[in-house]
Amino acid sequence: MSRVAAILGAGWIGAGWAARFALMGWEVRVFDTDPAAAARVDAVLGHARRALPGLFDTALPPEGAVILADKISQAVRGADWIQESVPERLDLKRTLFQKVQEHCADEVILASSTAGFLPSALQGPAARRCPILVARPADPVYLLPLVELAAAPDAPAETLARARGLLAEIGMAPLEIGHEIEGHVAGRLIEAAWREALWLVEDGIATTGEIDRAIRLGPGLSLAQGGLFGARRLAGGEEGLSQALARLGSGLGAPLSHLTDVPEATETLARTLAEQTGAAVGDLPADAQLRQRDTDLVALLRALKGTDSGAGAPLNAFDAARRPELGDITRPIVTQHRAVPADWTDYNGHMTESRYLNAFADATDRFMAMIGCDADYIAAGASFFTAETHIRHLAELRAGQRFRIETTLLEGTGRKMHLFHRMLADDTLAATGEHLLIHVSLATRRAAPPGPELARRLAEIAAAHAAQPRPDGVGRAVGQRPDQKPG
């Protein structure tokens, strides 16, 4: 039976939570009295379906049902996690949690998306003392992994531990904040930058477009990779952070920013912000801007996965727990089960040809790890090099579409490893990849016999696969008609 999440308040944050839980296989019940809530949830789900599955190299579970509840009691009864995302009014949140606690189970996780209120302030006059956590996500919730997790001082440690575990299960990276503080951590940092940006506009120093350009082309990229202190440490070279701070010298005390000052929120300032931002963004519709943002974020996050840094590390950990195992060797082996990332598509709107090779190369790498040619084996001085590849493109795949790769070992004797991959979307054969690899010594960069255990596993799988029908398409050449036989 799937877990159940109740989402109270379906603004963009609440709808993002609904999409994250649903795409991770949870049943989701949404309560919101706004007539536009259903359309908003549907829109966010559409963006999430396109972007989130392609962030991972493993398949997500079947999508959970999203149900619009007419009453709070219908939403929260039997839920495992209740996420409040209503407007930032303390009285509204307290009243809502008081009502929720009349109907929810004792062991449920009660969490708020609040940007500023303390966990202890959210409890209010409710008769029951269920601990209420702050679980403040980054936006978009369905794509970015950060969740700032905070609890009142008297909250049970077991509640926090369960919350951490459940958030990790849905691919998020909880940052536990040990002390209650308004605005939490990320919120306070963003607020400081936001105030300074407002002053730059108010004082006529820079436009909103120039400020965004300054962030996008410089510090925004380095901060995504290393964080605030990590990036500053690299600025100090071999000497590290202490050298970077020494270079600043007395500059730390210089009036380089307004810090806690904030300009008056006048109509003139609001109009200036709107006009300048609109001019910088252009006429691109909001929906297209969201798609572009998600595509860019997926590409950035996947780049961070490649180096296991920043937000890439928790994404890799999520994948590692879900990778396919060797399983039954009498059948073709599933070496990939995933979705097409948003940044894998081209101007024709489908997966570009280089990414088919990317997917087949990942399948080969996974097969190598399954048979024992893993990181330790390679570190000991041996591996496989690809000598020849042939790919057939048979059907279109689009962003977010799921596919799996089934791998057959055609030959596994001596120094050769001859693989045939079949890429399937449901029962549709989308592509095949035939690959000949040679086992090599990394010391000499020349062909060499594999280790005895690796050779044994290859021979065992090759013998098992030899008993299966030979896959259609083996040995085909470029330009060969479909009705022609190979050779």
* CATH number, residue 100: 3.40.50.720
Based on the fold, state whether residues 361 and 441 are members of the same structural domain: yes
Domain match, 251 and 399 both: no
CA distances for 374 relative to 22, 363, 364, 384, 403, angstroms: 34, 13, 12, 11, 24
Q: Does residue 207 contact residue 280 with C-beta atoms inside 8 Å?
A: yes
Residues 10, 125 within the same domain = yes
Q: For 60-75, what is each residue's pLDDT tens digit?
A: 999 999 999 999 999 9
Looking at the fold, whether 42 and 171 belong to one and the same domain comes out as yes
Helix (H, G, I), strand (E, B) or coil at 399: coil
Q: Does 369 fall in a domain?
A: yes
Is residue 483 domain-resident? no
Please check whether residue 476 lies inside any domain of the structure: no
What's the rounded mean pLDDT across residues 227-231? Answer: 77
Find where tokens 């009349």 sit. Answer: 102
Confidence bin at 251 (pLDDT 50/70/90): very low
* pTM of the entire predicted model: 0.84
Domains contained in the chain, number: 3
Note whether 257 and 328 are same-domain residues. no
The whole domain housing 266 covers 191-283
Which residue did the predictor score with more confidence, 193 or 245?
Answer: 193
Is 314 domain-assigned?
no
Q: Indicate which CATH number applies to the domain containing 254.
A: 1.10.1040.10
Are 419 and 409 in contact, with CB atoms under 8 Å apart? yes
Q: Which residues contact 275 (CB under 8 A, 6 or more apart)?
A: none
Residue 308 lies inside a defined structural domain of this protein: no
Looking at residue 453, which CATH number applies to its domain? 3.10.129.10
105: left (phi over 0), alpha (psi -120 to 50) or beta: beta
For residues 102 and 207, membership in a common domain is answered with: no
Give the tens place of pLDDT for each residue, 263-309.
Answer: 777 888 778 877 877 777 677 788 888 888 888 888 889 999 988 98
DSSP states of 311-375 as a string? Answer: THHHHHHHHHTTPPP---TTS-EEEEEEE--GGGB-TTSSB-HHHHHHHHHHHHHHHHHHTT-SH
In this structure, the answer to whether residues 368 and 261 fall within a common structural domain is no
